[in-house]
Amino acid sequence: MRHLFFVPALCLATACGPLPHLDTGPTTSPSVPQTIEDVSEFDAPDADARTVEDFDTTTEAQREEATAQASGDGTSLGTTVASLGDAAVPGFWLETPLVSQPTTGRVRNPATGRTVQVDLRPISGGSSRISLAALRLLEAPLTELVTLEVFLNA
């Protein structure tokens, strides 16, 4: 009978949050940056954002810089199929299984020939996700899967 009381009590205790002695801390090394971009340089969209222009908060200068630096040599990482990522996350980024740690690179849309400098962020498995701002500069449809060539900066 005591066991019947113990199980619900344990469930309630664990529902309150992690136990301090079981907290293992961050899952990545603090010396490895989670992103390459200084996220503070990009404004987050307003809570009432509804349109593509509302969500893409990059400035004209930031867009010019992302496309001006996007040409040049680099190591090809291959191709990936990408969809639109979280539109509320600002900046130029690609979450992809082609990298194992955050780094910088560029992506090219073979359908348009457009290239954009991006922050490459690792994800495990599946297809890639790309930022709204980068997808717009690549002149790719926002509602379709897009094949992209991915390059690591030299």
Q: Please list, residue by residue across 86-98, b when 16 or more beta carbons sit within 10 angstroms of its beta carbon and e when fewer do.
A: ebebbbbbbbbeb
Residue 16 lies in a domain: no
Share of the chain above pLDDT 70, in %: 61
Q: What is the number of domains present in the chain?
A: 1
Residue 9 lies in a domain: no
Give the model's pLDDT for residue 34.
38
Domain limits for position 48: 33-153
Residue 22 lies in a domain: no
* pLDDT tens column, 36-77: 444 446 666 556 766 666 666 677 788 788 888 655 678 999
* pLDDT tens column, 1-43: 444 444 444 444 444 444 333 333 333 333 333 344 444 466 6
